[in-house]
Amino acid sequence: MAKIKKEELNEEDSKLSNEQTYDSTLAAMVTRLKQYVVPLVNEAFGEKFTQKTEVTLRSNKHVLQRTDKTLDHRESDMIVELTETVGKLIKKVYMFECETWYDKTIVFRIAEYGASVAIETAEITKDGVVLRIPNSAVIFLHPNKSIPQTMKITYEAPNGEKMSYSVPTLQIKDYTVDELFEKKLLILLPFYLFKFVNEFDEMEENAERRKAVKEALNDINQRLEALRNENNIDSYQKITIQLLLKRVSERLVVQYENLKKEVSEIMSGTIARTEVDDIREQALEEGREQGMERGRKQGIEEGRKQGIEEGREQGIEEGREQGIEEGREQGIEEGREQGREEGREEGNSQGEDTVIAFFSYLYKNGRKEEAEKASQNPELCKKLLKEFKNNGTKAKKN
């Protein structure tokens, strides 16, 4: 394929290389269709995560220190963390690289990025340190029969022990439109025309051969409309996929006049520019939600520092109000306990005085024999005690 001329691209794309365009397309798809990261992970790694899985986008920026002690800033294409609780908590990190061409040196970059992630997330233990390599996969865009289904990375320790792991590969050429939608691999849709890239020369000269491209694009657009009508994606997500599909497809066919014209007619006719304005408010709302999540994490430390002083002042007034109510409840309970204890003591004291007075009353009135019997007979004691209290009440009245 001939080199693309910058003047043939739109203003935005002319500032980017092919690789940058494709990397930014993948990043946009992952950010705006985050719920479709789960099917992609399941497809690449044979996992069984459900749509209830929580997807967290991790930083893909790495700082590497070279042997000459200089720092090298690198970016991997996509790092996500999936969390799901099915009986027990499952939390795994996955890294994807998007490659235009097959290059055997890609495994070195995968190993390098994986080591960076492992160091960034290292766990220090009493015995040393635990480095966890993320699950890694590569998405290849250009068809190539030499690309293996998996690539192997092996580490050898000083004692000779080896640790190996596999890096699965995905190729756009291996999927039909049906399969991409059935498996919910919507994140790969913008790259679909790579499936035909080796046939472009023939297609440019043969209108019948170009029908395959037209049919594929029309099929994708119709299926996206159906997904929106079924509320599986919203208008913002639909237009995002179509715009990115248009962007990648037009870059691929930019040097082919017939293909370029037909692709542009199909995609421009499908995408109504006014639709972007109609869903701007929805996009803003989604942006707010994403921003809140990121801001919540970034703001914890800043908010902690700023909030100390403000919280102290606000807390004084709020604490008074809350303290009054809580103090009242606590005071009631403590008062009960204290009252019970004091009541026991006072009751015991009063009871002892009553018993002494009761038996004195019997002895003074020459009823010694009844007093002795009352000490052993509860019923007689109650009867005589009632008499004693009645006489005491009469004496007070007189």
**What is residue 377's predicted lDDT score, i.e. its pLDDT?**
77
SS3 of residue 83 by DSSP: strand
- Using the structure block, give the residue that is written with the tokens 């306990």: 337
* 329-to-315, 333, 357 alpha-carbon distances in Å: 20, 6, 41
CA dist 138 and 106 (Å) reads 9
Strand 135-140 vs strand 88-99: parallel, antiparallel, or unpaired? parallel
CB 99 within 8 A of CB 113: no
**What is residue 6's predicted lDDT score, i.e. its pLDDT?**
38
**What is residue 202's predicted lDDT score, i.e. its pLDDT?**
95
Give me the half-sphere count of Cα atoms (radius 13 Å) on the Cβ side of residue 193: 27
Cβ neighbours of residue 182 closer than 8 Å, sequence gap 6 or more: none
Return averaged pLDDT per consecutive 10 residues of the chain, 398 residues in all.
40 59 89 93 94 84 60 75 85 93 90 88 90 94 94 94 95 96 96 95 94 94 93 89 93 93 85 50 64 66 62 64 69 69 58 65 74 72 78 56
**What is residue 280's predicted lDDT score, i.e. its pLDDT?**
56
Cβ neighbours of residue 180 closer than 8 Å, sequence gap 6 or more: 186, 188, 189, 192
Nearest to 371 by CA among 218, 360, 379: 360
**What is residue 385's predicted lDDT score, i.e. its pLDDT?**
77
CA dist 99 and 194 (Å) reads 12
Cβ neighbours of residue 298 closer than 8 Å, sequence gap 6 or more: none
